[in-house]
Structure 1
């Protein structure tokens, strides 16, 4: 299967390439972006290249999809969004995303998430899409609510990240209830 390209009014959602490493490093090297991410702030361009390789390996191994979010006409990746933890036998996957802070509060992620959710339900045959976020990540919570997700609860000390245990709030979206 070729990697699917999705389009919106302002965005092209496509497969990441190593040519995108500089754009990813631009924001993965910012503490403000990595505050709620399960990776340390990037200090080397090679870390962005390895992340791109990981996302593409997941696609090649039928474990997920991670789209580059590119601004139409600008040839610049401003974020990524996609699926990981894809459990085929349970018809569910987890969605994840991040965005360069220069583009926050402009509804780009909301615009990107819609075709990705449709792709998950229609092409990946998902019944359930999950998201796990830090309870303090209010912007992510607002995005998920706007996309139709329901807050299902908070799990205490659910992840061990950056040397400490952190809670996770789980959100779910069901195919027949979107």
Structure 2
């Protein structure tokens, strides 16, 4: 894997490459690939898969505003959002995000991952998440990274376990979604 970092005080720019993927912040030129792959999604495959969603408000201007919001959150060390792109054709495969929970002596973050369902079962999720963890530890300088996973989200649990994350606990009534407070499994991995 190859890590690349841009130096510019007004712009966050870190990327990592794997054999098949590039993981980096979204750029203005990504709009067509991004909107196309959202449009190519299949219907929802399970409860935690959004499937096809209404993208009608997502104009190029809306996309540029989204990128600027992502940039500001990264510069504020709050949230880092990365697009996952296939090297061979620049197809937007999904996204990975890190949210800083606490810095100082903890260096602690939560991360999430999603792959558009038309790209499932090809190993992209595992490849992207492995690379993103390296980026989280080496570039974002986190010591502990957690995944907060719904108890019945089997694909996400399997992915977390396949990359070496360890189950720690169940946090009861941890997140409000689907009109109720839901329990989450907490998986974690620490830097070496």
| Greater radius of gyration (CA) | 2
One fold, TM greater than 0.5?
A: yes
Q: Structure 2: how far apart are the matches of 1:74 and 1:16?
A: 16
8 Å CA contact 1:5, 1:12 repeated in 2 = yes
| Deviation, structure 1 residue 159 | 0.9
What is the Cα deviation at residue 27 of structure 1? 6.6
1:16 equivalent to 2:26? Answer: yes
Q: CA deviation at 1:96?
A: 0.6
Matched, 1:61 2:76: yes
Corresponding residue number in structure 2 for 1:43: 54
**Alpha-carbon distance between aligned partners in 2 of 1:27 and 1:81, rounded to the nearest angstrom:** 19
**How far does residue 53 in structure 1 lie from its aligned partner after superposition?**
5.0
CA offset digits 1:113-138 (Å, max 9, x no partner): 12211121122221100010111111
Rounded to whole Å, the distance in 1 between the matches of 2:141 and 2:169 is 25
Show the counterpart of 2:110: 94
After TM superposition, the score normalised by the length of structure 2 is 0.77
User: As a proportion of its length, which structure holds more helix?
Assistant: 1
**TM superposition score normalised by structure 1:** 0.83
Q: Decide which of 131, 149, 167 is 1:115's aligned counterpart.
A: 131
1:142 and 2:154 matched: no
Which sections of structure 1, spanning at least 5 residues, go unmatched? none
Question: What SS is found at the alignment partner of 1:124?
Answer: coil
Q: Any unmatched runs of 5+ in structure 2?
A: 1-6
Moved more, 120-129 or 15-24: 15-24
Q: Give the number of aligned pairs.
A: 174
Q: C-alpha offsets along residues 43-73 of structure 1, whole Å, 9 cap, x if unaligned?
A: 2343683655543332132223221111112
Which of 9, 29, 38 is matched with 1:25 structurally?
A: 38
